[in-house]
């Protein structure tokens, strides 16, 4: 089965990438893996405060993934796999790709304006060495354009 790995956050471009991946998966009989990243937290001297900050960031990421998964199931009829990881975003994505050789494509959303995000910039630059294709979906695409494209 073709698995489309989508890295999500609260941005519009992440929503566009998820919609594109869901449509591709539905049309090709594939699946979607949603990856939510918990950014590394700044070191805080007091351990209890550090733990509370990390837990809050993880809960926020998990809530985001649950919302995205619900929308994906409702919209495309696909039950995604969900992964929530903490750490450097580039390193985490590389680790997930190494752990899951069945990933058919890494799907990232590019901002509608301005510079690309750090993941888009990094993986577009390394596309030739990736274990799978990197699909960068323009964040400016409408839902109708996404449906036609995918």
Q: What is the pLDDT along the chain (150 residues), one digit of tens a residue?
A: 789 999 988 778 888 898 899 888 888 889 999 898 877 656 555 556 556 656 666 666 666 666 666 666 666 677 788 888 888 899 999 999 999 998 999 999 999 888 888 899 999 999 889 999 999 999 888 888 887 877
Question: Which CATH number belongs to the domain containing residue 16 in this structure?
Answer: 3.40.50.620
72: containing domain: 3-149
Residue length, the chain? 150
Residue carrying structure tokens 């199931």? 73
Nearest Cα to Cα of residue 139 among 107, 92, 105: 107
| Count of structural domains within the chain | 1
Residues 6+ apart with CB under 8 A from 124: 116, 134, 136
Residue 78 neighbours by CB distance under 10 Å: 18
């Amino acid at each position: 089965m073709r698995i489309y790995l989508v890295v999500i956050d609260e941005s519009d471009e992440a929503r566009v990438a998820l919609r594109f991946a869901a449509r591709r998966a539905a049309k090709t009989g594939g699946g979607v893996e949603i990856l939510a990243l918990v950014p590394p937290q700044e070191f805080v001297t007091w351990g209890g405060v550090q733990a509370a900050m990390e837990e809050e960031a993880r809960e926020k990421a998990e809530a985001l993934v649950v919302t995205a998964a619900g929308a994906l199931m409702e919209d495309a009829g696909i039950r995604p796999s969900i992964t929530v990881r903490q750490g450097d975003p580039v390193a985490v994505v590389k680790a997930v790709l190494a752990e899951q050789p069945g990933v058919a494509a890494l799907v990232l959303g590019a901002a509608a304006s301005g510079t690309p995000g750090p993941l888009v910039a990094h993986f577009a630059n390394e596309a030739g060495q990736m274990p799978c294709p990197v699909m960068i979906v323009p964040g400016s695409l409408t839902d109708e354009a996404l449906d036609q494209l995918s």
